[in-house]
Amino acid sequence: MPELNINGPAGRLEARYHHENDPRSPIALILHPHPQFGGTMNNPVIHQLYYMFYERGFSTLRFNFRGVGKSQGYFDNGPGELSDAASALDWLQLVKPDAKACWIVGFSFGTWIAMQLLMRRPEIDAFVCVAPPANIYDFTFLAPCPASGLFVNGERDRVVPSASVAELAAKTKTQKGIKITHTIVPSANHFFTGENKEDLTANLADVVSNYVNERMIEILEEKAKAER
């Protein structure tokens, strides 16, 4: 993928973008893990999710938060990263103004930012939160959650235990017609590797892919019904 620079609130944001020629192709913005613990847009989980979305016909964007890689600025512990994500979504929507659906996707710290963006942007139709750190960050701002989405985590995740994600999924208040799905990837840890270091990111991608396929059918049906 060619290198892309997006104008962010703290300067240049380094990004990668896959463009679909169909002007109505759905869009997906993917947010990486914690910058101070090695999180970048090249994280294996982010990379796998990025390719999974574009293989399904999405125009897909991933980028480095401020201070990561070639992105300018400094880590801001949340507020600045949320502004970065908003700028990235603005760019994506300018490129694809007629997109038939808009998804926000995050991994770990990226999910906390993604869900805050979801609450501020009503045009987001669906979300995927991989290993949302419900035991570390406060997600009570999801009151109510305005879009259906997927929480998914590894069975053997010691950073974000399954019980904390299940509790988040159960406690997330939703608007009428909104459904939260929680799925666990067997044998996977926080980084989606197994006990013998086998790569389980493909298993994660399969779970997310199945959800995306099903949810996209629902989104298009809902929008067609609203247009009648």
Domains of the chain, each with CATH number or no CATH: 3-227 (3.40.50.1820)
Average pLDDT, the chain: 96
Q: How far apart are CA 43 and CA 131, in angstroms?
A: 14
End-to-end CA distance of the chain: 39
3 versus 73: the higher-pLDDT residue is 73
Measured CA to CA, the distance from residue 28 to residue 71 in angstroms comes to 20
Q: Which of 54, 42, 49 is nearest to 152 (CA)?
A: 49
pLDDT in tens, 175-224: 889 999 999 999 999 999 988 878 999 999 999 999 999 999 999 999 99
Beta strands 27-31 and 59-63 are parallel
Q: Measured in whole angstroms, how far is the alpha carbon of residue 26 from the centre of its chain?
A: 14
The CA-based diameter of the chain, rounded to the nearest angstrom, is 53
The predicted structure's pLDDT at residue 67: 98
Full-model pTM: 0.97
CA-based nearest residue to 109, from 87, 85, 127, 131? 131
- Give tens-digit pLDDT for 137-180: 999 999 899 999 999 999 999 999 999 999 999 999 898 899 99
Mean local confidence (pLDDT), 38-47: 97
Residue 56 has pLDDT above 80, yes or no: yes
Q: Which whole-number Å values give the CA distances from 206 to 23, 61, 90, in the listed order?
A: 26, 20, 29
Q: What is the pLDDT of residue 185?
A: 97
Residue 1: what pLDDT?
Answer: 59
Q: With beta carbons less than 8 A apart as the criterion, state whether 86 and 120 touch.
A: yes
| Alpha-helical runs (H) found in the chain | 44-54, 79-95, 109-120, 162-171, 201-227
Q: Per residue in 71-95, pLDDT tens? A: 999 999 999 999 999 999 999 999 9
* Positive or negative torsion for Cα 134, 137, 141, 146: negative
